[in-house]
Chains A and B, each alone.
Chain A
């Protein structure tokens, strides 16, 4: 059994029906997939809608809307690619890309929908005018006071009730926003471009919900990254994206999860793992590892049984490999 480039070069060719082989694998997959589909269907968890959140959590909804309006929300102060904020910048690369999908949370999430609502509710226009003409200091004063008031707010008879105070136009603006949310009209207001009629771009809808509504939803808790959530399905018992196990594992590393740039770090380290996998053939030591692990002896058990070391080649054996012209790798 001579060697060449660490491969045996003497072996027999045996009859093969390759078409039957391919058809067989296709039939196996088709049968398994059809059976799984019939038995288990497809895992889908009812989405969290703005309407649902506004209806079930009216006080929290107004609190979220206020954070978007006064610039305290995550998206309001996110930074690139949405705006010039600084709150969620993890790397210089993030800053370099600039503002690609401009979002002004106050205008896009609150003022613009309220401007549309003003044509239905006459009380809204003076409130909007009051807000837009107020000084920044006045707005901040109102926002701070109403943030405090909402922390003890309750929901009675379809409205959020707070202790009395100097809140300017905020109670009217936020109660109208809540009405928009509860009615289901908020989604249309958020995804409306004003230029084209399509609703392909769901960005503002999802970013409106991306903070407390989704983060605190009990249904998403098992999906959180620091709970190995990347590989978890939305519905227990179904397979998820289990092929992301290594990046999910990296997310559990203390220095990653406690970093100021956990997402960038986890993805970058995950990519290094992939590079190591992809370039195994050229990494000294690693490219010889399988030989020493010995699993190949099980996979080629019959071959090694039929070709004991030192035995002369059997009659009719082929020497060499197919496609030597492509040998340069």
Chain B
């Protein structure tokens, strides 16, 4: 990296470019439902964030006594389910297409990190719901974290879990998802494997 400023300048220009974010053409192989799964995952995350923000700005337990917020609570639950559902389908698609090829290894890694962070993000949401499921999961899961020396994360402390679920984890997850999507846009989606099935093929596979 000869000149940090010039390198950063080029990266920022690429990331901020309208061509990066608003493409008017796509590769011919990146068509159909399989190529909607990433966007469906991101769209689910948007709905999760909007519904979660509505709940958070009304305060803990507000969904218990307010019927409108109880409906928002339901949308938060189902959008989280949709997020994981589409993320899992997206994961299978990118695995079966070897999406790390062509210098896309870090894009894959960022996606895997997003998946890992999404798990405690959802889990802490379950913990602050205030029902039997919250109680059970808090007291059951505490032993695992305590055993791993992570007892500072006190699953039985609703205040700490609220902060984790509403601020710390979603911001971290958003940042990782953003980096993942930036790399997808900059690198485009992985091209197909070269076809080598035919016996008379002269395709050279590296």
Contact = CB atoms under 8 A, between A and B. Distances in A.
A266 B194 contact: no
A264 B29 contact: no
A181 B102 CA distance: 64
B178 interface: no
B133 A234 contact: yes
Contacts, number: 331
Given A14-B28, A214-B139, A26 B46 contact: yes
Interface in A3-37: 3-9, 11-19, 21-22, 24-26, 28-30, 32-34, 36-37
A309 B195 contact: yes
B31 A14 contact: yes
B154 A15 contact: no
A8 B192 contact: yes
B187 to A, nearest CB: 4
A264 B143 CA distance: 8
A26 to B, nearest CB: 4
Given A19-B22, A42-B73, A200 B159 contact: yes
Interface in B67-113: 70-71, 73-79, 81-82, 84, 86, 88, 93, 95-98, 100-109, 112-113
B186 interface: yes
A206 B136 CA distance: 9
Contact of A281 (B105, B116, B131): B105
Contact of A202 (B36, B156, B186): B156
A202 B146 CA distance: 17
A300 interface: yes
Nearest to B197: A309
Contact of A264 (B116, B139, B148): B148
Contacts of B26: 13-14, 16, 18
B87 to A, nearest CB: 8
Given A29-B47, A219-B132, A290-B97, A7 B28 contact: no
B139 A209 contact: yes
Nearest to B24: A16
Residue of A93, A217, A293 with most partner-chain B CB within 10 A: A93
Contact of B151 (A24, A43, A94, A202): A94
Contacts of B157: 101, 200-203
A25 B195 contact: no
5 contacts: A8-B191, A13-B27, A22-B39, A277-B112, A318-B27
Given A37-B71, A101-B151, 17 more contacts: A7-B101, A8-B191, A11-B28, A18-B24, A29-B86, A33-B82, A44-B129, A45-B133, A94-B148, A97-B152, A203-B156, A206-B138, A214-B136, A225-B140, A233-B133, A263-B147, A310-B198
Interface of A: 1-9, 11-19, 21-22, 24-26, 28-30, 32-34, 36-38, 40-48, 80-81, 88, 90-91, 93-94, 96-97, 100-101, 198, 200-203, 205-207, 209-210, 214, 217, 219-220, 223, 225, 233-234, 239, 241-244, 261, 263-264, 266-268, 274, 277-282, 287-288, 290-291, 293, 295-297, 299-300, 302-304, 306-310, 318, 321-329
